[in-house]
């Protein structure tokens, strides 16, 4: 099985991505760097910096022919914030696919290509490919076979570009682990993996720690949230989740998609980030 690290090292154009990834697992000046780093898609650069995060997840823009992330001036703004705050972009979020599904919107392939090019430029490691709402691959509990066929075709076509760029396309959906593995095997590329959202999939009734152990290195990145609660005070118990992640040797980003119960976005984000670090025994 090809791991995230092997994938990045094995692509000539992924050198920049590998350099970023190496910061997660290698020592710097004799001091160990945390193997788990915390990012957020719920706050921007400035709030993330104040909350002590290492990165942010950014959106790629709305359903225009050419999304905002494809605009060089927008990317320059992101680069300026990265330089100002010292944070990096962990990942992109293609949330627009929930309303403009990859399986049916003719603009989908171009959107994927634009996002891959932008991710390479900004050294984002993963692009979240979303399948919720109108874009869901389930109808009730039944798989939308025709939609899956189109999704497989489009992701298979985009995978070589992603691999060359050193970027992973992370599919996030409500399918179970075995169904997702079937999709990944049909695509057949290490550049397409799973973006695992623990809360969403627990809500579907799946055994999240068991799924994590089953998927192993097919998981590119994780979303952590607990509905309207803090991570340590909601329906999902993250201790067993963290144990499963440790068992599979996960060493990437945990992206907070968390709420702000106290209305203090920085304080609530910091509380959740501190909890994640405690789970994995790492420091900021």
| Residue 65: predicted pLDDT | 78
Distance CA 196, CA 171 (A): 8
**In b/e form, how buried is each residue of 247-268, taking b as 16+ CB within 10 angstroms?**
eeebbbbbbbbbbbeeeebbeb
Q: Two tokens at 27?
A: 């020592």
For the chain, residues with pLDDT lower than 70 are 1-34
Q: Two tokens at 218?
A: 């097919």
Q: Give me the CATH number covering residue 17.
A: 3.20.20.150
| Residue 35: predicted pLDDT | 72
Q: How many domains is the chain partitioned into structurally?
A: 1
| Residue 283: predicted pLDDT | 82
| Residue 34: predicted pLDDT | 42
| Residue 64: predicted pLDDT | 77
Q: Two tokens at 204?
A: 């579907």
Residue 50's nearest CA partner among 222, 271, 281, 223 is: 271
Distance CA 149, CA 187 (A): 10
Q: By residue range, what is the domain housing residue 251?
A: 4-280
Alpha carbon separation from 8 to 4, 129, 131, 162, 165 (Å, rounded):
6, 19, 25, 11, 9
| Residue 29: predicted pLDDT | 43
| Residue 19: predicted pLDDT | 38
| Residue 215: predicted pLDDT | 98
pTM of the complete model beyond 0.85: yes
Q: Which residue has the tokens 């009730």?
A: 140
């Amino acid at each position: 099985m090809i791991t995230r690290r092997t994938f990045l090292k094995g692509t000539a154009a992924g050198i920049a991505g590998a350099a970023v990834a190496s910061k997660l697992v290698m020592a710097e000046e004799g001091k160990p760097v945390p193997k788990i780093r915390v990012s957020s898609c719920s706050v921007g650069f400035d709030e993330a910096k104040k909350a002590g995060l290492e990165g942010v997840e950014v959106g790629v823009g709305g359903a225009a022919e050419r999304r905002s992330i494809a605009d060089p001036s927008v990317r320059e703004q992101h680069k300026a914030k990265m330089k100002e705050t010292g944070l990096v972009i962990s990942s992109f979020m293609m949330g627009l696919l929930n309303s403009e599904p990859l399986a049916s919107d003719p603009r989908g392939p171009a959107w994927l290509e634009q996002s891959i090019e932008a991710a390479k430029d900004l050294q984002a490691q993963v692009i979240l490919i979303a399948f919720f709402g109108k874009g869901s691959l389930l109808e009730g509990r039944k798989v939308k076979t025709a939609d899956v066929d189109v999704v497989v075709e489009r992701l298979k076509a985009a995978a070589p570009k992603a691999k060359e760029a050193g970027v992973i396309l992370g599919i996030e959906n409500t399918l179970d682990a075995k169904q997702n593995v079937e999709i990944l095997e049909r695509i057949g590329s290490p550049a397409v993996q799973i973006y695992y959202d623990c809360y969403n999939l627990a809500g579907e009734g799946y055994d999240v720690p068991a799924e994590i152990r089953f998927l192993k290195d097919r998981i590119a990145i994780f979303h952590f949230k607990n509905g309207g609660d803090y991570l340590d005070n909601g329906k999902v118990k993250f201790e067993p989740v963290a144990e499963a992640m440790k068992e599979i040797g996960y060493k990437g980003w945990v992206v907070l998609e968390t709420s702000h119960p106290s209305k203090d976005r920085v304080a609530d984000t910091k509380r959740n980030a501190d909890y994640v670090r405690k789970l994995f025994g790492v420091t900021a």
